[in-house]
Amino acid sequence: MPPTTKTPAYIKGLLQPTTRAPAGRKVWSIDLERVWLPFFTATNTQGETQIPHEALGAPLRLAKAKDGVVRFNAKGAPVLRVAAEIRDAVSLVKDNFEAGLVAYASGVVKANPEGYKAQVEASQKAAMPVNAQAEADIEAAIATVREAAAKAEAAEKLLAQAEAVAAGAPDTKPSTAAVPVAA
């Protein structure tokens, strides 16, 4: 069924591929220097935000413990955090973005319930073989792990018996000398 509502240009734009720039520090999986700083500088310019110049000019800060000591990661490098004002602004954008996506989806459901239901049913049907394969792969992996564990356990028992024999302890295997041999 053809769509009954016109998709907004900003939604279409979200779905278009773009060229990739070199990756830098990410905030909400979006590049800080290439996206967030220019965006918030523009929103400050337009009077839509009042992020301090200090935060925009020095967006990365040393992370410190409660006692004020600089924190270091496992490799010995200082830990950097994004300035609180930028983190808070990104969080606001994220919340509003999520609300916009939900509102768009709700609008489509209301305007074209049959089409939306058909999409959900088609997706669920298409997912069945994928889910079945995933379940089979998990079962096979579990069987492989169990088999490896059983082999390891058997090897440990043999090693323990060998160590006991080497140490001069009596053999832990049942003796076959007392078993009569049929003629």
pLDDT tens for 91-108 read 999 999 999 999 999 999
> Do 90 and 84 touch, CB atoms closer than 8 A?
no
Query: Taking all residues of the chain, what is their mean pLDDT, rounded to a whole number?
Result: 90
> What is the predicted pLDDT for the residue at 182?
60
Is 51 a domain residue?
Answer: yes
Range of the domain at 49: 21-111
The DSSP bridge partners found for residue 13 are none
In the predicted model, is pLDDT for residue 16 greater than 90?
no
Is 31 a domain residue?
Answer: yes
* d(C-alpha 59, C-alpha 94), whole Å: 18
> Do 89 and 96 touch, CB atoms closer than 8 A?
no
Is 39 a domain residue?
Answer: yes
Is 142 a domain residue?
Answer: no
In the predicted model, is pLDDT for residue 178 greater than 60?
no
Is 175 a domain residue?
Answer: no
- The number of domains in the chain is 1
Higher pLDDT: 172 or 131? It is 131
Q: How confident is the model at residue 11 (pLDDT cuts 50, 70, 90)?
A: confident
Is 120 a domain residue?
Answer: no
Is 157 a domain residue?
Answer: no
Given phi > 0 = left and psi -120 to 50 = alpha, else beta, which region is 81? beta
Kindly give the pairing relationship between strand 30-31 and strand 60-62.
Answer: unpaired
> What is the predicted pLDDT for the residue at 66?
95
In the predicted model, is pLDDT for residue 165 greater than 90?
no
Provide the 3-class DSSP secondary structure of residue 48.
coil
> Do 62 and 80 touch, CB atoms closer than 8 A?
yes
The DSSP bridge partners found for residue 64 are 70
> What is the predicted pLDDT for the residue at 19?
73
Mean pLDDT value of segment 168-174: 60
Give the lowest-confidence range in 8-17, 37-46, 81-90, 144-153.
Answer: 8-17
Q: Give the rounded percent of residues in the chain with a pLDDT score beyond 90.
A: 72
What percentage of the chain's residues is helix, strand, coil (to nearest 5)?
60, 10, 35
What are the DSSP E strand ranges found in 17-171? 26-27, 30-31, 60-62, 80-82
In the predicted model, is pLDDT for residue 145 greater than 90?
yes
Within 8 A by CB and 6+ apart from 22, the residues are: none
> What is the predicted pLDDT for the residue at 9?
87
In the predicted model, is pLDDT for residue 110 greater than 60?
yes
End-to-end C-alpha distance for the chain, whole angstroms: 86
Is 141 a domain residue?
Answer: no
**What is the reported pTM?**
0.63
